[in-house]
Structure 1
């Protein structure tokens, strides 16, 4: 992709997402994440009306007059967006490839955070972490994140979500908002989800094409796995074969939902034809 094509694609995504974000997501994001806790600021003499539970008993005993701890809200947040760049994400049968749809979701999340003066970072991963964009603020930074997603080399290898989460937790110590975007076609260790969700606020987003869940009747077809290189012939006219495949995918989704729920993390299952902004709005509202 040439530079002018990249700039054009990034601009298109910005135009599509900015209006949608400003109209709905930004306000709901601010309401959901306007403060994530309280941190100690200072100690001052007690004033009428102060809560008794704020009294600093050690200083009160030392100076023989009451002092209270002043707490302030922790305002600045960091958002980390983890994007799967295994080859199955470079695929789509509708108007968009999964990676383009993911870039739009990342843009909406990023502009929401930027409007709240929060930092946003990016991790691109497949079988390992391939690129890290450190968290920063501002619109130009969000545009660079969009560009990184759409211009990435999508790797023909199974993705390893565990490695991405492990890397993030090792590098980014502060509690963050973590959005994990993948088609979750490959196996992972559910224990890592539990570890990550204890340290960070985690939302897994399965981005899928409708053909990921159901294969149409097209007769005998050679099916090719872009991540492993494996090829198999299948009789897609066999209703039982199509049913078995579809049921297997449904069970995989049920397992995903259960793993995230058991990890106290959130999960969204998003078709590339869905209105992701409405789903994110509802997620923020629940927060």
Structure 2
């Protein structure tokens, strides 16, 4: 399969078929990707039965579980968990950090596809969906909405932004960064948002990780990391690199190949440890494998735990 530097809105709309299914994290109250209905942490007169516990003065007597009370000779009450709509925001990193792909797809194309799946799933379960589009020139914030027309406008704009970024010459320095996008997100997502950050996470700065930790204190945050085969292992040959203005040839030998691999793997391991300490799920997707198959493998592996 030949890699294409352009992506179309049709490519994204076709992903609606795979956006249905069970919750992504079965054990967690809220899922980031492919999430189901969200139960709030509040307990009250809700839709779903949660548990039975000992009666506490002030509990609604209508919720007393008389069978358990009779069996234990201690008054017990039923507790219900309420379903709660939660707005979703996805950061789409379309900066130069994702304008690369060595084989079948560019990283930015996987970014767009993952964001599309988030959006389709949010609309199906009645959540509002919004996005933050980050490229080297701008940060564009689109507020969450339940409108399908609104969602498709996000996809249209994201496709245009991605295709323009892959075809233009890159300036020496980006005008905006992920740190700025996360900082602005902190001013929006005060609590109870589902936040999905889709990027090449190996390039996240310490400041970005600090912002992610702050967001995770009162929101559900998940990172989707896009990996290309060249991130891990460069071929042992002369490789041309170009930014459309200049080109260099990099000669790779065994030693530099192994050193390159270890630096990347160590960096990734360190990142995973930091995110685990923040209780932020870390999903890895590759540019050289079918997205649908990768998601199925992740779901199957998660459900077997």
Q: TM-score, normalised by structure 1?
A: 0.75
CA RMSD of aligned residues (A): 3.7
Residue 283 to residue 164, structure 1, CA distance change in 2 (3 Å): farther
- Aligned-partner SS, 2:196: strand
Aligned pairs for 1:1-287 (under 5 A) are 9-15=8-14, 17-22=15-20, 32-38=36-42, 52-53=55-56, 55=58, 73-126=82-135, 130-152=139-161, 153-154=164-165, 157=173, 160-189=177-206, 190-219=209-238, 221-224=239-242, 233-236=249-252, 238-272=253-287, 273-274=289-290, 275-278=293-296, 281=299
- Aligned-partner SS, 2:129: strand
Could you tell which deviates more after superposition, 248-257 or 124-133?
A: 124-133
- Aligned-partner SS, 1:53: coil
CA drift of 1:168 comes to 0.7
Q: In structure 1, what is the Cα distance between the partners aligned to 2:146 and 2:109? A: 23
- Aligned-partner SS, 2:103: coil
CA drift of 1:85 comes to 1.6
Query: Over residues 57-84 of structure 1, what are the superposed CA-to-partner deviations in whole Å (9 max), with x where a residue is unaligned?
Result: 9xxxxxxxxxx9x987251111110111
Q: In structure 2, what is the Cα distance between the partners aligned to 1:283 and 1:149? A: 31
Could you tell which deviates more after superposition, 127-136 or 99-108?
A: 127-136
- Aligned-partner SS, 1:22: coil
Q: In structure 2, what is the Cα distance between the partners aligned to 1:137 and 1:283? A: 31
- Aligned-partner SS, 2:179: helix
Q: In structure 2, what is the Cα distance between the partners aligned to 1:266 and 1:129? A: 27
Q: Is the 8 A contact 1:180 1:203 kept in 2?
A: yes
- Aligned-partner SS, 2:39: coil
Q: In structure 2, what is the Cα distance between the partners aligned to 1:9 and 1:40? A: 46
- Aligned-partner SS, 1:264: coil
Could you tell which deviates more after superposition, 270-279 or 260-269?
A: 270-279
Q: TM-score, normalised by structure 2?
A: 0.71
- Aligned-partner SS, 2:19: helix
Q: Which runs of 5 or more residues in structure 1 are unaligned? A: 1-5, 42-48, 58-67
CA drift of 1:87 comes to 1.5
Aligned length: 259
- Aligned-partner SS, 2:121: helix
CA drift of 1:91 comes to 2.1
Residue 235 to residue 75, structure 1, CA distance change in 2 (3 Å): same
Residue 252 to residue 224, structure 1, CA distance change in 2 (3 Å): farther
